[in-house]
Every structure is written in structure tokens, then in C-alpha cells.
Amino acid sequence: MRDVVILGSTGSIGTQALELVRRNPDRFRVVGLTAGGGNRELFERQVAEFGPAYAGLGEEASVEAAGRPADVVLNGITGAVGLRPTLAALDAGNTLALANKESLIIGGPIVLDRAAPGQIVPVDSEHSAIAQCLRGGAPSEVRKLVLTASGGPFRGRSRDELDDVTPAQALAHPTWDMGRVVTTNSATLVNKGLEVIEAHLLFGIPFDRIDVVVHPTSYVHSMVEFTDGSTLVQAGPPTMLVPIALGLAWPDRVPDTAPAVDWTQPTSWEFFPLDDEAFPAVRLAREVGERGGTFPAVYNAANEVCVDAFHDGRIRFTDIVDTVEKVVAGHGDVPSEGTLTVDDVLAADAWARAAASDLIHPA
């Protein structure tokens, strides 16, 4: 029996995690639940059903819950607000099932310095896939990581064809059911850019050995190419239940978590190169990741502001990444990674939000 804390319990990751707990009461026990407060009624129902020892709403509640004794803390919060709970979980010695990629990306060396070997278990489907594939060889045998991207709802469109897309169209993802921010990030491919940085940090692979390919059906979640020319692929129908279950039970698997591929049916899997001209977010993320320091925090924060502005009708779809790039270009001196602090990261986050807002609403 594992004691589990779930941060962001009313979101997509959190509700699916609770579904897994509900189906496996002999394996998991919920001892902590937190949420942002946007769906208080659902949160109250969750608390009544699972009876956690601790429950609360807001960032401070998540920090408190993450630091309480538990076997695993699932950080399913969206955005930079997940950083302090991530650090609290690591400092408490809890295993961190990390769905909140932003906290690792913006925290970078701070998060890695706090984490013991094996303490962070990735929950993003791509990074969970890589972690599974890496069981097939030694670190010295890895040639490259290959992240797959669905391409989002606008795959195949030119940049000019993206100018007038609507928020509703951006949220119509062809294969995944996610929240507003992540779904929009998938449409711009900012999400894939963030995942490139995350893969570098999680697995210690240089950026020039991390590739991205477009795979529209999302059956192949990612791949690892080894030095002998072989490639290990982790595949399955597009569902987050498997990586969430692995995050809660790692290194064990939870039987019957989700349906497997039906190999009795004809199927084909296609892969395409990424169009960096129409979708420059991944290229920009590589540059940001290489620069390190507080640049990833700036990239992420500016994007969060731009996503809100797009859904409010204040900027066009293509303005999202264009504005992020301008904010990144205007970012000044940053401390070296060896001296990076949480205050540095939060200050850069605040600066980037203000800079993006100024570009959207010039004075």
C-alpha cells in the first residue's frame, strides 16, 4: 500500500490519478489532496470520497501537502506555481511523480540539486516513455532521445494559415484531452519545446542529441536510439493513465491500467519532420535551454501570459510565440547556474509576465 498526495486533484492529471486509486484500493491510499480552487464543488466531493488526512486549496496548501510524509507526491499542478510544491516534496524525501513540467524547467539546477537519484519519476507521457525505454540499455549506450509530437490541430498548415485560427480551434486537439493551457501549448508546440528542456534535465542528454518528430496518432509516445543502431519504442493508445500509474507505482506496473494496442487490426504509424518555420517554439526552447539560468523561466512565464491573452481575444495565435521570443530577447543578465536561487527564478518569472503584458498592451 502506497500513501499518495495528489496536488492539482481537480485537473486532468489529478482526476485520472484518483480514478486509478479508486480502481486499485489495495495499492494506493490518498493521504493528501490539494487544488487551485477553481472547482471547489468537485474538490469537496473528492475530499468526502477519499478522506485524506490533509486537504486544502491554493499554493500554500500544496506546499504544505507536498512536504508531509508520503510514499509519493503527484504534482499535477499546471504552470510555474508548481515550483515550490516540487521543492517541498523533494526536501521531505518523498518520491515526486512529476506532471508539472514547468517546475523542473524553470527551477532547473535548483530542482536537480534537491533531488536524490531516482527521486523524480516523470509523468509526461513522452518522458515516461523514455524512462521505460532506458531500461533497455546502459546510459553510455544511448545515442539520442526522440520525442514524438502529435502536431496538434494545425499540423500541416503554413505560418500564414495560422494567423486567424480561433481559441476554439486551438482547443480541438485531435488525440489528447487536456486542460486549456496544455492544449494550447500543444497547438503552438510550446509544450514540445518545454518537453525538450525537460528531457535534457531529467536524463542529462545534450540538446543536440534530443530530436522531435511529428507522429499524428500519438501511439508511439517516444523513443530511445542506442549506439548499436537499435531503437526502443514505447507505444500504446493515447491515454495518460499509463504514465500516471507508473508515476504512482514506479518501478512497478499496475495491471489493466488501460487497453493495449489491438494487434489484430490493420494499423500504420507515420512520422514527419517538424516544421520549424510554421512552429518556431521548439527551436526557441532549444536556445533558451542552452542559455540556462533564468531563461527557461522567462520563456514559460511569457507564454502563460500570452496564452491567456489569446483566449481573451487580445492577440492572434501566431502572436503567442512571437511575443515570447521578444520577451526572451529582452531578458538581461542572469546568475550562473551555480548561484541560481528560487528568488532569482521567481523574479525572472515576474519580470517576464510584466514584459509580455507590456508588449500585449503597450503603454
pLDDT at 137: 95
Domain boundaries along the sequence of the chain: 2-122, 125-276, 292-363
pLDDT at 1: 94
pLDDT at 335: 57
Which CATH fold would you assign to the domain 292-363? Rna Polymerase Sigma Factor; Chain: A (1.10.1740)
pLDDT at 15: 97
DSSP track, 162-215: GTT--HHHHT--SS----HHHHHHHHHTHHHHHHHHHHHHHH---GGGEEEEE-
pLDDT at 182: 83
CA dist 190 and 173 (Å) reads 14
- Full-model pTM: 0.93
Low-confidence residues of the chain, pLDDT below 70? 175-178, 333-338, 362-363
Architecture field, domain 2-122: 3-Layer(aba) Sandwich (3.40)
2-122 against 292-363: fold identical: no
Long-range contacts, 171-174 (Cβ 8 Å, 24+): 174/150, 174/216
